Structure 1
Amino acid sequence: MMLFAPLLLIAAAMGQATASAPKPDVVIWPHGVSPLGIKHKENFGNHGLSITVHDTSGIAEVHQATADVMIVQSGEATLVYGGEVIDAHSPSPNEVRGTGIRNGTSVHITAGDVIHFPAGMPHQWLLEPGKQITYLVVHVEEPTAAKP
């Protein structure tokens, strides 16, 4: 599937293993779905994978210590990013949530789009009633980002 070709580039960019470091097992998600189910999140040390399905608008969020790379598999939505999180609170270390984003940039996102959010970038999905968006997320720990 051409949609997952960017994953090869992402995997190569994250392959910082040295000759003496043990190599992790290969993990294959046939047709883009974890063998453990659509909601499963897989962690691999400095990065993780998950499939996310939204059928309603999401909350505003900021990940202070991880970057996100999203590969949209299906559907469409408006993505709002940047700006300031409204009613911001921190439910866990290095995570900020809120009800929306003020003064952000809005862009229409559809299947096949690939998005990179650096650590610290507010983002939120807005969906029209009856719409849905599904995407693969690669969460990458940023070594210079905030840590608890």
Structure 2
Amino acid sequence: MTGKTTGIVLGAMIAGVSAGAAPADHYTVGDLAKAMEALKAKAAATGGAADTLATYNNHHTMLSYRTKDGTAEIHARYADMFYIVRGKATLVTEGTLEGGHEESPGEVRGSRVAGGKTTMLGEGDVVHIPAGTPHQLLIAPGEELLYFVIKIKEHD
């Protein structure tokens, strides 16, 4: 092939890839803060609410809002990655899940994580919780937490 022909073929290949590619998703802090208002109304009764934002091949994204402690949990197949948009919380990881019961396949919920490691989370923090790791978010009275979640499939 000549240089000109190679350029045309590569250009066509790139155009073909671009034409079939999914659009990029973009959420500004303002978008997330606006979405928080809707979550606040949903969370009024229970102290927590979440909405799935998008679903992809091996992960999905969510936005969660809390004013009360979250349930202790273990995800057998999914890792959680949190980005704290607003507020603060204490994350308890590792340790032992007490009162555990399977809520759905691969999803165990319990009353608390006992003997775990505590980590203070604040605005701008990012945390990765591997699949199979007990974890729970604790919210101090009067506090609120808005966090972006990426649930990444690690195991089948």
What band does the TM-score fall into relative to the shorter chain? 0.7 to 0.9
For 2:58 and 2:76, the matched residues in 1 are separated by: 14
In the alignment, structure 1 residue 98 sits paired with structure 2 residue 83: no
For residues 108-119 of structure 1, the aligned pairs below 5 Å read 108-119=120-131
Amino acid at match of 2:79: A
Alpha carbon RMSD of aligned pairs, Å? 2.1
Partner of 1:134: 146
How much does 1:134 deviate?
A: 1.0
Partner SS, residue 58 of structure 1: coil
Gaps spanning 5+ residues in structure 2: where?
Answer: 1-16, 40-49
Provide, for residues 66-122 of structure 1, a one-character-per-residue CA deviation record: whole Å limited to 9, x for no partner: 111111111111110101100000110110100001110112111111100110011
Cα–Cα, structure 1 residues 131 and 116, in superposed 2: closer, same or farther, change >3 Å?
same
Q: Which moved more, 1:110-119 or 1:23-32?
A: 23-32
Runs of at least 4 residues off by over 6 Å: 34-37
Q: Which moved more, 1:37-46 or 1:25-34?
A: 25-34
Structure with more helix by fraction: 2
For 2:90 and 2:34, the matched residues in 1 are separated by: 29
Partner of 2:93: 81
Partner of 1:62: 74
For 1:80 and 1:50, the matched residues in 2 are separated by: 20
- Length-normalised TM-score, structure 2: 0.72
User: In the alignment, which of 23, 27, 30 is matched to residue 29 of structure 1?
Assistant: 27
Cα–Cα, structure 1 residues 49 and 35, in superposed 2: closer, same or farther, change >3 Å?
farther
How many aligned residue pairs are there? 124
For 1:71 and 1:62, the matched residues in 2 are separated by: 19
Instruction: Report 1 or 2 for greater relative contact order, CA contacts < 8 Å, sequence distance ≥ 6.
Output: 1
Percent of matched pairs sharing the same residue = 31
Gaps spanning 5+ residues in structure 1: where?
Answer: 1-18
Decide whether the 8 Å contact of 1:34 with 1:40 is kept in 2. Answer: no
In the alignment, structure 1 residue 120 sits paired with structure 2 residue 119: no
Amino acid at match of 1:114: V
Cα–Cα, structure 1 residues 69 and 23, in superposed 2: closer, same or farther, change >3 Å?
same
User: In the alignment, which of 36, 40, 51 is matched to residue 40 of structure 1?
Assistant: 51
